Amino acid sequence: MGKAKKIRSTSHKKQVPPTGGLSQAELEADQDMDMATMQPDEAEMFRGLVDLQGSIREATCVALATMFGDVSDEAQEKKLREKLQKMIDAGLLKKLIPRMVDPLKMVRLHALGALRNISVTGGIEISELMTSQNVITPLVKIITEHATAETFEKNDLHAMQVLEQSIALLSNLCESCQAAINELTQGNLLDPIMLIADKGKSQASLHLETLKLLLLITESNPRLNEVFGASAAYQTIIGEIIQSEQLLLLVKLHAVGIAMNVRAIMAAEANVARLLPVIEAALAYDAVNVTQLAQNVSENYALSQMNVLTDEDVEDDTITDEDRQKVTSAQIKYRNWRENVQTLSLALELVADLATGGEENDDEDEWASDDEDAMEQYAASQMEDTEASSFASGTPAIKALSASRIFALTMVILQGLVSIPQLQSRVIADDFERMRIRAANAVNNLLQTLSWEALGNKDDVVSQVFRNLCTLYANVKAETSDKPFEFDLSSSTNDIEAATTAAMWSALRRAAAVKQDLAITADEANLIMSSALQSKSMETRMNTVGMIGCVGQRSKNPTEISVIARCLLSSLNDTSLEVVAEALNAVFDVFGDEDFDAIFRDLQLLGALEQTATSIKAKLRAERKEMDRGLVAHVKETHLNLVRFIKYKKKHL
């Protein structure tokens, strides 16, 4: 007897999920609507990713990789990001990620390339989304299967290409997303990655990408720190790369950075001493040659970005051998420039890290509660320990730095970057800005850490540093005053301002520490009080307030103190609590004694401080949920000191 054929029910699609989200039917309708609103070429790509023909899937992945490849300017990047977001919202990742394990190897390769470029164009949000959609799992499988000794013995080109794309994608994800680092750490990937670092030296691009990934994931990673510290084999691999004479300086610098992230390596002075020659070699800087190369690369930048083999705007019959030679020459010079910039930038970054002494910041644990007595005890202990510990660190890193030429080399670089040539290409100008930031950060940390003898033991050394930094800051302001784009608080302009003013503040503090009178010219004073104090960058304003307080603390001139007091008074109304807290600490330092009570009274600072005490409490109550715990504790401590300072002044005025 025949059975009645059941009609498949679709009622489950119409049920509303318990979370209150869209039903399955609504989701499918939305996806159809998204496909309908997409451009025809974009919709064709969605269909191409699931086409039954492998050649179409491969061509689609290539098209996606090309679409989100290198961009020439910010405007194009913004358009691409908007286009990518629309495609992501329409479900691009759900169709592209499965192509990583496609039956055809070329589809897998180009899918990886497309995801790599998408992770760069999409930035943090897209990288987090890719991680949440489980892109790490197929990456673990791909890297584990391909990263074998046999792969490198046979010199399997396809496997090398797959590994390079996979490692680069993983690196992009880890750079943007902590969850990716956590998954990598738990995914038993360290052994195959270290095998690439050991066996893949002849594959320059793959090897560098692997070291970049290791440098990234070992930073502030306690679990990997323990693994590396307990593995003599891992340490040997890194040591061999550092000591190699055949590898590029940039490659060796990445290995130095990895070693610096491992506490067990940095605990031995002999190990640290092996790292410094590599850094010193990378800090060699010839300002004249750098300027000439930058101008040449800038003039030929557009040429260096051409591809005469694939450029659709170029007709084959119009391309001459001379044209090809010009393009090739421009591309070689551009690659050399990029390598030099990356080498110098990384070297300066490593110097800044070394100058911290290799000690972890454990202050966070001190603020386990909001108890004011605990805060007061902690602040008192910090004040007692500051003088004893400043400039006297005995860590192997600081000892090695003190005996090296790194401070002198860094000063040469700073002097060479004070002014830059007029450049046609904004891309090359941005490279100079990046190097300036790294140089300022390195100088800042070195000034705070090295002993006076290590700095050169000369009376004018800090003054010279301060002069150079002031000139650099003035040039930065002049160069950015007529920028055509709208100001953005997250722009790199703020970074260079903040880095430069932070180093200026360190120079003033260091001069005060050795009781050196660092004279400030009228132009420099005007730069600090009129330009830096009015900056749109919060960090720059905070650094400037610190500088003003530092000068006021040592000044005995009533006229100077009056000017300084007015600057600090204006900063008490700053929108940032961090700036207000720094201004208050400066007021405590300048007017802690009774020498300038007359100025304090004439400017009615007491009333301003009482008003500030009230506003801080209200603002902290309103904003504390958005502030990190350390900042909340700092503001609370400053407010506590303010209340006591007001009581003290009321008694003595």
What does the domain layout of the chain look like in residue ranges? Answer: 25-268
Interval 475-495: pLDDT, tens: 999 987 655 434 444 455 568
Distances (CA, A) of 526 to 520, 532, 537, 557, 594: 10, 9, 18, 17, 28
Helix (H) or strand (E) holding 291: helix 287-299
> Token pair for residue 634?
């700092």
For residues 561-570, give the mean pLDDT. 94
Give the model's confidence band at 16: pLDDT under 50 very low, under 70 low, under 90 confident, else very high. very low
* The pLDDT value given to residue 373: 54
Distances (CA, A) of 638 to 164, 424, 542, 580, 583: 51, 48, 15, 9, 10
Could you tell me what percentage of the chain is helix, strand and coil, using 3-state DSSP and rounding each to the nearest 5? 75, 0, 25
> Token pair for residue 467?
């002069």
Q: Residue 48 above 80 pLDDT?
A: yes
Q: Would you say 445 and 508 are in contact if contact means Cβ atoms under 8 Å apart?
A: no
C-alpha dihedral sign at 418, 421, 427, 428: negative
Distances (CA, A) of 447 to 133, 385, 405, 425, 462: 46, 19, 14, 34, 8
Q: Would you say 499 and 437 are in contact if contact means Cβ atoms under 8 Å apart?
A: yes
The CATH code of domain 25-268 reads 1.25.10.10
For residues 162-177, give the mean pLDDT. 95
Buried b (16+ CB within 10 A) or exposed e, 615-641: ebeeebeeeeeeeeeebbbbbbbbbeb
Residue ranges of alpha helices (H) inside 50-189 are 54-67, 74-89, 92-96, 105-132, 136-146, 149-154, 157-176, 178-186
Whole-prediction pTM: 0.85
Q: Residue 382 above 70 pLDDT?
A: no
Diameter of the chain by CA atoms?
Answer: 111
Q: Would you say 501 and 538 are in contact if contact means Cβ atoms under 8 Å apart?
A: no
Q: Residue 209 above 70 pLDDT?
A: yes
Residue type at position 366: E
Q: Which residue, among 385, 398, 434, 383, has the nearest Cα to 413 in the 3D structure?
A: 434
Give the model's confidence band at 374: pLDDT under 50 very low, under 70 low, under 90 confident, else very high. low
Residue type at position 188: N
Mean of pLDDT over the chain = 85
> Token pair for residue 390?
């400043």
**Residue 283: CA count within 13 A, CB half-sphere:** 25
Contact residues for 186 (Cβ-Cβ < 8 A; gap 6+): none
> Token pair for residue 228?
């590396």
